[in-house]
Amino acid sequence: MTDAARDLDRFYAAIQRLGELPGQGRPLRELPGKKAFPERGVYFFFEPGEIRSGNPEAPRVVRVGTHAVSKRSKSTLRQRLKAHLGTRAGGGNHRGSIFRLHAGAALLRCEGSSVPTWANGSSAPVELRIDPGARVREAAWEQRVSAYIGAMPVLWVGVMDEPGPGSGRALIEQNAIALLSNHRAPVDPPSEGWLGHHSERDAICSSGLWNLDYVDEDYDPGFIAVLQKCIDATCNPD
């Protein structure tokens, strides 16, 4: 067994404990109320049909993320997850969630569909303001993306430090992505039917993750001990 394989086993054994907590490990569309969440943390998405290599009982993480990694940021963990999920009515804003943007783009390529305004601009382009048909097409695809991402189970761990690029949340996010990535030496490759294969972004296709940053970097195994301590605190808040 390689060092990466052993570290992956340690990582998954650690986050498995989070699934024992109320509200955790359920599809994102069943996101619990505010009281279930720490203010700050790191999240781990899974995807139906994606399993670890050689273990059909073990789901594979497909995205790692956090929030408030710039100084003075006030965003919360739950707010970030809600941005990925979309609205109560099933809509959403892919310009406010890179996860939605890339999942939606991959769905378009997979299904041979076309929404010309998708991923066009960091804010709504002029086409959406002047063309009601364009608004309808984009809104319908936002609904499609909400349904897809909403079906993904999610775990989260509280990491209660101050916002900033040197935060423990940034440390865990960056190293977890680097460890989980299949970019260099695949350990848990995605299934043949994984939607990410239809992405235009090589970082997604090669890593097996809905992430762009850190997929081609080395990881520090020491981050797992930091993660385990944060999981201990999340599971035993008193």
Inside any domain, residue 134 = yes
For residues 14 and 50, state if they share a domain: yes
Inside any domain, residue 217 = no
pLDDT of residue 72: 72
Answer for the pair 117, 138: CB distance below 8 angstroms, yes or no.
Answer: yes
For residues 9 and 125, state if they share a domain: no
* For residues 74-81, average pLDDT: 92
pLDDT tens figures, 210-236: 999 999 999 999 999 999 999 999 999
- Per the structure, the count of domains in the chain is 2
Q: If DSSP states are collapsed to H, E and C, what string results for 193-219?
A: CCHHHHCCCHHHHHHCCCCCCCCCCCC
CA 27 to chain centre: 12
List Cβ neighbours of 221 (8 Å cut-off, separation of 6 or more). 3, 7
Q: Mean pLDDT for the chain?
A: 93
Q: Is the pLDDT of residue 197 over 70?
A: yes
* For residues 62-80, average pLDDT: 87
Inside any domain, residue 225 = no
Classify residue 129 as exposed, middle or buried by CB count within 10 Å of its CB (0-12, 13-18, 19+). exposed
For 162, the domain range is 3-32+44-83+150-210
Classify residue 109 as exposed, middle or buried by CB count within 10 Å of its CB (0-12, 13-18, 19+). middle
Inside any domain, residue 216 = no
CA 64 to chain centre: 4
Inside any domain, residue 75 = yes
For residues 130 and 197, state if they share a domain: no
Inside any domain, residue 158 = yes
